Structure 1
């Protein structure tokens, strides 16, 4: 970067002073014209760009247009120089500070904020008519003269440095201040005055409520992604007439914004008059050069509300500093257009989507492939008079009678199981007759009645003998049991939480653990879905089918979430 001595050589008619500012687009030195005694500011564009012929050509073209702009709210350009080592702009020196300084200092009232933006829009309108876009509208580029007149600075500098493109590194560091750029600018699309309207609306949004329309806590790249893919948050704590104007100016689609800056200014002046009452512009203390159309809009609004109350608002202060990265912060780092880096495609979601689809098909089919009954050894027992060699239908709310053969008094255990999981147990000591037979009755546990739905595995054990198993079909409707209704509710709960994970990923939230959480939820969904289908179809629960369906659910959920994450990364990255 040039030092004052080098600048004095390039600008012999000026006495060059100390550095008074820096930003994403260059460094500013103070100076004085030797003959006229006029104080000036000398803008030095980043030295890294001087050797680029295309940058030099753009600088020459833009500087000529900037020097021709003449408007009370545009800082005048007195001269420009290209030395081969520097690109220099000589402008009016503004000593009144920036809007950023006032906003983060004493704060700005609503009247002052609207007046500042009206002045800014007046300057932008004049520039747009001359074919110049600003493309870097922000509070730090709005400066005051010592008399308090607001002027817009750095017109066209973004066009010179990067042809209006937002520049960033591979690590996601963004040149300049990304908080105010329009979505189409971040995407690298063709730029129109709508981009400056968006940035101006964002400035107005912040000045009126102290916040930005997007979450700024997750970094510059995340903020750009939000404005590309999400609508801005409604402006809080701002009266409806002003809120309507603000939200239209920052519409995500350029077609839904104001057609030009003057239309924006007209609606803003009317809304401010409706909210603050007569004389608001004078009370703001901010001198504004009004076009006839704007003056007419204020007068027309006053005629519609002649008895409106005068409203004085307290100052709003900016509480969060908005960092600006300069070219000096990127020495040794490659800067590329943000649209190029953000559009680089991540892993293809196709393969996890295919895996998820295959697993989902398996999950749905497996419960229907399970056998209606499991294979059980022959049994001589009678249950409620029905041979245990066949499926026995039992009302678990009533007494159960079991008859069979026994050689001595033993304990009878009656178990109900689903896929080898114990649902309940009844114990009773039996005493056989002299002929070696027995018949006993017992009442099942109350919980068995509510747990068992459809078909389950019953197991009767006499003393130390091997258990005898058979298929038991509950007389209760499956949906009146936990195996039926309970499993359905649990499966819906798991499914809703899987969808919540996917929805968060689609909205751009980073959740590295999402596939693992989804795997657990998918396991639960697969298991409960299998249990529900088994109960409804009155198939005896099979452990291998339960395990297979649960694993299919885990794979399907994890793969679907992974596919969603990769798809979101490709569309938002």
Structure 2
């Protein structure tokens, strides 16, 4: 590969400039490393004949400042700008073009990639920057799989504001994806980038372009100007309608901005592929606007119904109020399930039944207890019927082992009775609090096992243990995380995995609540009641998230003009 020109090396002394890694109508790209930070970068230089033009220099200066101000997860960030050189993030995950032609993009991934692309385009358009060369080769992945749009504004700089020019034998705007108004030299708007983004989506979904590219670049451009794109096939409705609107030849029939395109694409994909399609795609999409997030959560069918029922005060629609009531149902379920967590924990049995056939006495208490135990001291165990070998003691909470200990070998008395002591591990004192279950077992001289279960009451304040304080902290953590997610959703930001993480967090909250109430009330821990509380907590948290998503969707729909 070609080495960097000396002028570039001298202009960027803080970077160690490497070999050329790409070239095209937009300029040449070289690798580089910041000498102090060790950050790997890509350095793009305008073509020499363009860089010498004073007007291009001025416009490039202006565009570079705007690009450097863009801070969006789906835009390649610009770190530095010196003498027509843009220093940008270096992405090593390949391009959408490479992945597509290797057969590595399915339909859900295609929609996710497009949402990421549109999110970046919308941010750039808001800042006043048009791309004008959106194509699969300008969509790059980082090593984490995040899609980023590259080369914002550079086509506009090279063309000096024109729409279709040639440079170095290449047509700026890429004939396969160029918008009709861009090819004709008309005034440009974000709709030009929408057209190119729609063409990229069309190609990823169908495997072909909306027009025949076999006849050459100029013929392809004429088709963009004078012909309508062929209908996309093998794509379900309403997704096909969204795609065709994005590549409409007439501006009046096309999406005018990237966000509107993204809103309808998110809803259509949810309708076609079902809820959770974005998570299944495995393509991370960040920075979605509230409108797109709400549309993604409800689907296009739901959005159409929302638009109908929110017509400004039409009394004829009074009986169609089921849709606005939708959030109330999951909200009611969330409240009932939350009360269920507390009720189940309070109704848990005070003591569990135990098998006391072995006839053992623990700490002077015969039978099933309860036995008060200081876990920092040895526990005295007595029994009858002979013993062969040591005695083992175990403590459990809801059938979960919490500690065990074994006595030394025992010599029984003439009548077969024995007394011994066992010392539980020190860590048990820090873990166990409240009331748990105990078990002692030994081998009789006859060879038959002797087993006795009993209730253990720990002789320390329950909050001085992990079961007490730990359950309180776990419950507060789970509650705070769910509450934070709810607040985020209320502000309109979409969290794709919110419903699923809510299930886990809700279950943790249910378990923590059950354990805390049991420990403080002295109830012996019951596994089945713990499972019931976990299930109720999961239902409560996930229902709260669903209710919040639907309420946010309704607010967005209510603001939308009909």
TM-score (norm 1): 0.51
Per the TM alignment, residue 131 of structure 1 is displaced from its structure 2 partner at its CA by 0.5
* Structure-to-structure mapping, 1:277-426, within 5 angstroms: 277-289=274-286, 290-301=288-299, 304=302
Deviations 1:194-219 (A, max 9, x none): 10000000000000001111110110
- Say which SS state the counterpart of residue 176 (structure 2) adopts: helix
Equivalence for 1:166: 164
Deviations 1:160-209 (A, max 9, x none): 10025222389x96356211010000001000001000000000000000
1:255 equivalent in alignment to 2:252 = yes
Equivalence for 1:179: 176
Q: Is the 8 A contact 1:25 1:176 kept in 2?
A: no
Q: Is the 8 A contact 2:266 2:295 kept in 1?
A: yes
In the alignment, the residues of structure 1 paired with residue 171 and residue 128 of structure 2 have an alpha-carbon distance, to the nearest angstrom, of 27
Q: Is the 8 A contact 1:248 1:256 kept in 2?
A: yes
Per the TM alignment, residue 51 of structure 1 is displaced from its structure 2 partner at its CA by 1.5
In the alignment, the residues of structure 2 paired with residue 49 and residue 303 of structure 1 have an alpha-carbon distance, to the nearest angstrom, of 50
Q: Is the 8 A contact 2:74 2:120 kept in 1?
A: yes
For structure 1, the 5+ residue unaligned runs are 306-573
In the alignment, the residues of structure 2 paired with residue 141 and residue 257 of structure 1 have an alpha-carbon distance, to the nearest angstrom, of 22
In the alignment, the residues of structure 1 paired with residue 82 and residue 25 of structure 2 have an alpha-carbon distance, to the nearest angstrom, of 20
* Structure-to-structure mapping, 1:91-102, within 5 angstroms: 91-102=88-99
Q: Is the 8 A contact 1:182 1:227 kept in 2?
A: yes
* Structure-to-structure mapping, 1:6-405, within 5 angstroms: 6-82=7-83, 87-162=84-159, 163-168=161-166, 174-175=171-172, 177-289=174-286, 290-301=288-299, 304=302
Q: Is the 8 A contact 2:268 2:300 kept in 1?
A: no
In the alignment, the residues of structure 1 paired with residue 69 and residue 220 of structure 2 have an alpha-carbon distance, to the nearest angstrom, of 35
* Structure-to-structure mapping, 1:403-482, within 5 angstroms: none
Equivalence for 2:465: none
Deviations 1:263-314 (A, max 9, x none): 1000000011111112110111100012222111122229949xxxxxxxxx
In the alignment, the residues of structure 1 paired with residue 106 and residue 91 of structure 2 have an alpha-carbon distance, to the nearest angstrom, of 22
Q: 1:169 to 1:106 in 2, by over 3 A?
A: closer
Whose radius of gyration is greater, 1 or 2? 1
Give the aligned length.
Answer: 300
- Say which SS state the counterpart of residue 191 (structure 2) adopts: helix
Per the TM alignment, residue 6 of structure 1 is displaced from its structure 2 partner at its CA by 3.1
Runs of 4+ in 1 over 6 A off after TM superposition: none
In the alignment, the residues of structure 2 paired with residue 74 and residue 169 of structure 1 have an alpha-carbon distance, to the nearest angstrom, of 25
Q: 1:288 to 1:60 in 2, by over 3 A?
A: same
- Say which SS state the counterpart of residue 234 (structure 2) adopts: coil
Deviations 1:17-46 (A, max 9, x none): 111112221111110111111111000111
Q: 1:190 to 1:303 in 2, by over 3 A?
A: closer
Q: 1:197 to 1:164 in 2, by over 3 A?
A: farther
Deviations 1:352-398 (A, max 9, x none): xxxxxxxxxxxxxxxxxxxxxxxxxxxxxxxxxxxxxxxxxxxxxxx
In the alignment, the residues of structure 2 paired with residue 156 and residue 2 of structure 1 have an alpha-carbon distance, to the nearest angstrom, of 26
In the alignment, the residues of structure 1 paired with residue 3 and residue 151 of structure 2 have an alpha-carbon distance, to the nearest angstrom, of 19
- Say which SS state the counterpart of residue 233 (structure 1) adopts: coil
TM-score (norm 2): 0.52
Deviates most, 147-156 or 257-266: 257-266
Per the TM alignment, residue 254 of structure 1 is displaced from its structure 2 partner at its CA by 1.2
In the alignment, the residues of structure 2 paired with residue 176 and residue 197 of structure 1 have an alpha-carbon distance, to the nearest angstrom, of 13
- Say which SS state the counterpart of residue 128 (structure 2) adopts: coil
- Say which SS state the counterpart of residue 179 (structure 1) adopts: coil
Q: Is the 8 A contact 2:74 2:146 kept in 1?
A: yes
In the alignment, the residues of structure 2 paired with residue 63 and residue 302 of structure 1 have an alpha-carbon distance, to the nearest angstrom, of 38
Q: Is the 8 A contact 1:205 1:211 kept in 2?
A: yes
Q: Is the 8 A contact 1:173 1:220 kept in 2?
A: no
Per the TM alignment, residue 259 of structure 1 is displaced from its structure 2 partner at its CA by 2.6
Per the TM alignment, residue 7 of structure 1 is displaced from its structure 2 partner at its CA by 1.7
For structure 2, the 5+ residue unaligned runs are 304-562
Q: Is the 8 A contact 2:145 2:284 kept in 1?
A: yes
* Structure-to-structure mapping, 1:539-558, within 5 angstroms: none
In the alignment, the residues of structure 1 paired with residue 103 and residue 7 of structure 2 have an alpha-carbon distance, to the nearest angstrom, of 38
- Say which SS state the counterpart of residue 42 (structure 2) adopts: strand
In the alignment, the residues of structure 2 paired with residue 180 and residue 303 of structure 1 have an alpha-carbon distance, to the nearest angstrom, of 30
Q: 1:164 to 1:286 in 2, by over 3 A?
A: farther
Q: 1:118 to 1:131 in 2, by over 3 A?
A: same
In the alignment, the residues of structure 1 paired with residue 246 and residue 6 of structure 2 have an alpha-carbon distance, to the nearest angstrom, of 45
In the alignment, the residues of structure 2 paired with residue 30 and residue 173 of structure 1 have an alpha-carbon distance, to the nearest angstrom, of 23
Q: 1:300 to 1:104 in 2, by over 3 A?
A: same
In the alignment, the residues of structure 2 paired with residue 298 and residue 135 of structure 1 have an alpha-carbon distance, to the nearest angstrom, of 27
